[in-house]
Amino acid sequence: MLHWHQVWKYIRKLTNREVEKGAILELFNDIENRTDNIIHQSIIEFNSLNTNRIKQGLPEKTRIDRECIQRAIKSINNDIFTSLSERAGGTISKKGEKNVEQTPETKDLGVEIQ
């Protein structure tokens, strides 16, 4: 668990500004709310994964794992953000890489797809 003072020092270090304790507590409240949403969604993802495992004849999972949490975060953020960090279950292309491969048809049109 993080202590409010550690977060206060970290924000102060990053911003070089005074930071009120109330601001840190507000940040903690928001993180707790998001965590609750992620936990609820991870249970839904867990049940979905287990349903698929049963259909495939595999044993059910007994623990909520990293994949469940990643799927939950991606599901929650899908409506809010168009691109997610890799930690949030999204994919990141390296600088200069195309997100979509160009086909011979699009190259002939002179259209650059990004």
Span 39-51, average pLDDT: 95
Given this model, what pLDDT does residue 86 score? 62
Q: pLDDT digit string (tens) for 58-69? A: 999 999 999 999
Cβ–Cβ under 8 Å, residues 68 and 42: yes
Residue 84 lies in a domain: yes
Q: Which of 19, 106, 50, 77 is nearest to 5 (CA)?
A: 19
Query: 3-state class of 57 per DSSP?
Result: coil
The mean per-residue pLDDT over the stretch 101-112 comes to: 47
Residue 42 lies in a domain: yes
**Cβ–Cβ under 8 Å, residues 84 and 65:** no
Q: Give residue-wise pLDDT tens across range 1-28.
A: 778 889 999 999 999 999 999 999 999 9
For residues 31 and 57, what is the distance between their CA atoms, to the nearest angstrom? 38
CB 2 within 8 A of CB 26: no
Per the model's pLDDT, the better-predicted residue between 19 and 84 turns out to be 19
Residue 114: inside a domain: no
Burial 94-106 (b: 16+ CB within 10 A, else e): eeeeeeeeeeeee
Which domain covers residue 67, as residue numbers?
A: 4-109
- What gap in Å lies between CA 90 and CA 107, rounded to an integer? 28
Report the chain's mean pLDDT, rounded to a whole number: 80
Number of compact structural domains in the chain = 1
Q: Give the pLDDT band of residue 103 (cuts 50, 70, 90).
A: very low
